[in-house]
Amino acid sequence: MARIDGAAFATFILMVIVLMVDGSTTSGLGIGLGPVCTQVVGAKDGDTCFAVEQTFNLTSDFFTSINPNLNCTALFIGQWLCISGIGN
Ligand SMILES: *[C@@H]1O[C@H](CO)[C@@H](O)[C@H](O)[C@H]1NC(C)=O
Ligand SMILES: *[C@@H]1O[C@H](CO)[C@@H](O)[C@H](O)[C@H]1NC(C)=O
């Protein structure tokens, strides 16, 4: 009797944990929270935001919106620059 109850309880707890993990995974995908980047390039020597915008045909507004925390005066080689995605 006690063993059956224990097993049932354990199963119940397992299901609750699975549901909680599932729920947090789903809500963790958060829609509309900041920009989404779908493609990045590494900055090359001498790259500027303007050069990258020209290369990938992006408007400065769009580039800024998908790279919200980028400081264009302090690019470093290999820095990930977002070139495709959904801006704010
Ligand atoms: C950039 O956009 C212009 C105007 O829409 C177009 O004529 C040109 O072919 C594009 N260049 C590239 C590399 O996509
Ligand atoms: C960007 O970087 C430059 C050089 O490090 C710095 O002087 C400037 O304050 C930075 N700007 C922002 C907005 O962080």
| Alpha carbons 85 and 43: distance in angstroms, whole number | 17
Residues in the chain: 88
Average pLDDT in the 4-19 region?
Answer: 49
State whether 23 and 41 are in the same domain: no
Segments forming the whole domain that contains residue 5: 1-30
Ligand 2 pocket, residue 69 CB under 6 Å: no
Ligand 2 pocket, residue 73 CB under 6 Å: yes
pLDDT digits (tens, 9 = 90+) for 26-72: 334 445 578 999 999 999 999 999 999 999 999 999 999 999 999 99
State whether 42 and 73 are in the same domain: yes
Q: Are 35 and 60 in contact (CB under 8 A)?
A: no
Which tokens go with 4?
């059956």
Counting other chains too, the contacts that 77-80 makes at CB distance below 8 Å and 24 or more residues apart are 77/42, 77/43, 77/44, 77/45, 77/47, 78/42, 78/43, 79/42, 79/43, 80/40, 80/41, 80/42, 80/43
Per-residue model confidence (pLDDT) at position 15: 47
| Index of the ligand 2 atom closest to the CA of residue 74 | 2
Distance 52 CA to ligand 1 centre (A): 14
How many structural domains does the chain have? 2
